[in-house]
Structure 1
């Protein structure tokens, strides 16, 4: 039976391992060292009241998915809104509605916090069509590409 719970600092290795796998899938680069990811996820889970991760698991320690979200503010969004940063489901458990259940937890959080919307940076639609289809099924609409500037 699938269960979902909020992650805490003790989960930093689980969180970093899943995000490492997600990054590997998206970039095509296989990462072996994730000490930095463990440190970063531990810091965020400990220090930030704004960075929230939910873990999906079966049994006692079979983690099969995660979703991370933060709250942001913008006039264009009507005030406070959520941003999904990472959503990962293990390959063998995809198409089992785990991503949908994780998103439903974030939607409930958004309603509780009175967010006006939830945004997500979607991957390339040609390469990741199934991911785009998932977000559309969840009710997302395309609003344009995102860009980044590295400091």
Structure 2
């Protein structure tokens, strides 16, 4: 299998939304809670809008022979004084379970890092899913040179 990493276009939003649903379903199943409410039509429309407005950059991993989507990484740009200006945030990263441990996630992170370098980012940040259920995810990011910075992800809903 030959794997290609390609920047996504707005026309691929539906395919990306489907993978987002698979990602969030996997997290829900592992933690036994439902912190996400993914409606495919709404998520697809939102993804299309984000890509059209260049609020998101998405890179897809594709099987070159079958054109089957194998995974994706979604990024957005943020700004902070502590980060010395612009930086990137990995919002979602997903690789189909049948294709994990083949270097696809690493290649998607490399695409994200290259994107960030071109944009002049000083850093790339990520918030991992809950521990201990996703300790393997933390280990994956550590292998990609990410450092644990502490703290917890928190939110308030409006």
Q: Name the structure 2 match of 1:150.
A: 157
User: How far apart are the structure 2 equivalents of 1:33 and 1:71?
Assistant: 24
Q: Name the structure 2 match of 1:53.
A: 58
What TM-score do the two structures reach when normalised by structure 1? Answer: 0.93
Runs of 4+ in 1 over 4 A off after TM superposition: none
Alpha-carbon displacement from aligned partner over 1:35-68 (angstroms, at most 9, x marks no partner): 1111111111122x23100000002421001000
Matched, 1:122 2:128: yes
Matched, 1:70 2:76: yes
- Of 34, 38, 48, 2:40 maps to 34
Q: Name the structure 2 match of 1:16.
A: 17
* Correspondence list, 1:61-100, <5 A: 61-100=67-106
User: How far apart are the structure 2 equivalents of 1:92 and 1:11?
Assistant: 21
User: What is the root-mean-square deviation of aligned Cα atoms in Å?
Assistant: 1.7
Matched, 1:44 2:50: yes
User: How far apart are the structure 1 equivalents of 2:38 and 2:8?
Assistant: 23
Q: Name the structure 1 match of 2:111.
A: 105
What TM-score do the two structures reach when normalised by structure 2? Answer: 0.89
Partner SS state of residue 150, structure 1: coil
Alpha-carbon displacement from aligned partner over 1:87-138 (angstroms, at most 9, x marks no partner): 0000010011100000001111111111111000111231011111101101
The number of aligned residues is 150
User: How far apart are the structure 2 equivalents of 1:75 and 1:46?
Assistant: 28
